[in-house]
């Protein structure tokens, strides 16, 4: 048992929700450790579709406590809508706990997100406009509002007296946008306070107890390693730490308790938003994979950029997160390919590189080195075990293991997840 950290190994949208949902079956706690409602995933259970932005998908298991952890920034309005939709779809939210330490997205954050992006012009990042970057910036500046502030509205008001003029100055003087009034924000957040009160708690005792008693605790990451503020393709990243180190900080759990770090990877690569993407396919093949893989964002509906599996990114993600187990998703999207390619390295000005370099202008202009493997040319959608996969698909998976440097323990096709083997029986 113990703590399982589940992280995205690429640029997000790897299928983490599905993997967490599977792992959550026997979990006491599922904790969302970072990010905000820039994340999105869909889980289908018994024909019913559930959409998640902030609530951990473990909520569909009635015995599992689901925590929105201290590393998250949440928009109360979005969270309340999500809670209402989940309750309507038949989910029981009694076991949802929101950390008092999580930060809140304030009404000016999404507005500033949009204005800052517009001001960047051609250098814009392609954010989700959810206000995530501005909210994390305020957290770091120590002018953020925390969920616990909802339980002490006089404190929230006092803080607004200081913070709101700073924000309005930027809105009005820099962007010529309308200001916010303290009264409207107070009225709005007072209402959120009463509606969220039943969920707000300090998760510290229950998380520590679950860890001490050896129960399974899952840390559900959002986004992916290449969107990590430090480790990703800065500045084309999100504003949190989706890597395993960030997961622990965002949960308040020490590394000693981690028994496995699962990296979720798509069998190819996608990215939403701008920034370097060495294996991108900007041709008909990319178009084909986007349609076959339904690569359109859950949160924003944007078309995702699509490319081949990037080995240097995978081995980097394995290294920086300490991934010891890979979950490979959407393998069946490649079923009809005549050949499949895996990027095994990069060439930059004749020089070979085996991992993504920090300098993004280098990363933008390098040449991926590909290895070509024969496609398997038949459907894997009906496969229910590793042995059911055609030999050439098994060979593709084996090559990914070699290139990434970690074992593929779980493979999923669109409809189901296949257990190839669980290396650790305790899972």
Give the 3-state secondary structure of 310-374: EHHHHHHHHHHHCCCEEEEECHHHHCCCCEEEEEEEEEECCEEECCCCCCHHHHHCCEEEEEEEE
Cβ density class 25-35: b for 16+ within 10 Å, e for less: eebbbbbbbbb
Binding to ligand IMO (CB under 6 A) within 249-288 occurs at 272-273
Q: Mark out the alpha helices in 142-214 (DSSP H runs).
A: 153-169, 182-196, 204-212
* Burial of 247 from C-beta contacts in 10 A (0-12 / 13-18 / 19+): buried
Cα 394 from chain centroid (whole Å): 27
**Is 13 a catalytic site residue?**
yes
Closer CB to ligand IMO, 95 or 239, in the complex: 239
**Is 41 a catalytic site residue?**
yes
Angle, helices 132-141/108-120, rounded to nearest 10 degrees: 110
- When CB distances are held under 5 to 8 angstroms depending on the partner's kind, the choice from Mg ion, ligand IMO, none that residue 38 binds is ligand IMO
Closer CB to ligand IMO, 12 or 71, in the complex: 12
Binding string, 371-410, against ligand IMO, x = CB under 6 A? ----------------------------------------
Cα-based distances in Å from 297 to 43, 220, 268:
14, 19, 16
- When CB distances are held under 5 to 8 angstroms depending on the partner's kind, the choice from Mg ion, ligand IMO, none that residue 238 binds is ligand IMO
Residue 55 interacting with ligand IMO (CB under 6 A): no
Residue of this chain nearest to Mg ion (CB atom) = 13
Residue 13 interacting with Mg ion (CB under 5 A): yes
**Do 55 and 369 touch, CB atoms closer than 8 A?**
no
Residue 360 interacting with ligand IMO (CB under 6 A): no
The percent helix, strand, coil of the chain (3-state, each to 5) is 40, 20, 40
Q: Which of 18, 28, 130, 167 binds ligand IMO (CB under 6 A)?
A: 130
Residue 227 interacting with ligand IMO (CB under 6 A): yes
Residue 310 interacting with Mg ion (CB under 5 A): no
**Do 328 and 396 touch, CB atoms closer than 8 A?**
no
Binding-site size for ligand IMO (CB under 6 A) equals 23
Among the listed residues 13, 75, 113, 138, the single catalytic one is 13
- When CB distances are held under 5 to 8 angstroms depending on the partner's kind, the choice from Mg ion, ligand IMO, none that residue 227 binds is ligand IMO
**Do 147 and 139 touch, CB atoms closer than 8 A?**
no
Q: Which of 1, 22, 125, 200 binds ligand IMO (CB under 6 A)?
A: 125
CA-nearest of 267, 161, 251, 156 to 211 is 251
Q: Which of 95, 225, 239, 344 binds ligand IMO (CB under 6 A)?
A: 239
Minimum Å gap between C-beta 14 and ligand IMO is 7
Residues of the shown chain interacting with ligand IMO in the complex, contacts defined by CB under 6 A: 8, 11-13, 38-41, 125-128, 130, 132-133, 222-224, 227, 238-239, 272-273
Catalogue the active-site residues: 13, 41
- Which chain residues interact with Mg ion by CB under 5 A? 13, 40, 298
């Amino acid at each position: 048992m113990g703590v399982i950290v589940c992280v995205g190994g690429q640029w997000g949208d790897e299928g983490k929700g599905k993997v967490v949902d599977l792992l959550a079956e026997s979990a006491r706690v599922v904790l969302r450790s970072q990010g905000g409602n820039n994340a999105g995933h869909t889980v289908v259970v018994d024909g019913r579709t559930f959409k998640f932005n902030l609530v951990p998908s473990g909520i569909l298991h009635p015995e599992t406590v689901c925590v929105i952890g201290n590393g998250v920034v949440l928009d109360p309005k979005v969270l309340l809508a999500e809670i209402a939709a989940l309750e309507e779809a038949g989910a029981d939210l009694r076991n949802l706990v929101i950390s008092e330490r999580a930060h809140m997205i304030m009404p000016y954050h999404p507005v500033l997100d949009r204005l800052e992006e517009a001001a960047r012009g051609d250098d814009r990042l392609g954010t989700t406009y959810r206000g995530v970057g501005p909210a994390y910036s305020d957290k770091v500046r120590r002018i953020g509002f925390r969920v616990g502030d909802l339980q002490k509205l006089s404190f929230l008001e006092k803080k607004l007296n200081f913070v709101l003029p700073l924000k309005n100055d930027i809105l009005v003087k820099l962007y010529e946008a309308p200001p916010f009034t303290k009264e409207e924000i107070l009225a709005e957040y007072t209402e959120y306070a009463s509606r969220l009160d039943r969920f707000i708690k300090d998760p510290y005792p229950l998380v520590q107890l679950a860890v001490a008693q050896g129960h399974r605790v899952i840390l559900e990451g959002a986004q992916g390693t290449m969107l990590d503020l430090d480790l990703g393709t800065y500045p084309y990243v999100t504003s949190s730490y989706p890597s395993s180190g960030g997961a622990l900080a965002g949960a308040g759990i020490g590394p000693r308790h981690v028994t496995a770090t699962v990296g979720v990877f798509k069998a190819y690569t996608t990215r939403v938003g701008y920034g370097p993407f060495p294996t991108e396919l900007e041709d008909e093949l990319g178009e084909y994979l986007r349609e076959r893989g339904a690569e359109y964002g859950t949160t924003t509906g944007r078309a995702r950029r699509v490319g081949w599996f990037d080995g240097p990114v995978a081995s980097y993600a394995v290294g920086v997160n300490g991934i010891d187990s890979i979950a490979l998703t959407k393998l069946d999207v490649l079923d009809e390919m005549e050949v499949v390619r895996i990027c095994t390295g990069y060439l930059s000005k004749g020089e070979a590189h085996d991992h993504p370099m920090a300098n993004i202008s280098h990363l933008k202009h390098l040449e991926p080195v590909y290895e070509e493997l024969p496609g398997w040319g038949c459907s894997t959608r009906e496969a229910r075990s590793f042995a059911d996969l055609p030999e050439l698909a098994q060979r593709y998976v084996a090559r990914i293991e070699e290139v990434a440097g970690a074992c593929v323990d779980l493979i999923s096709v669109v409809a189901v997840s296949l257990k190839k083997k669980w290396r650790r029986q305790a899972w």
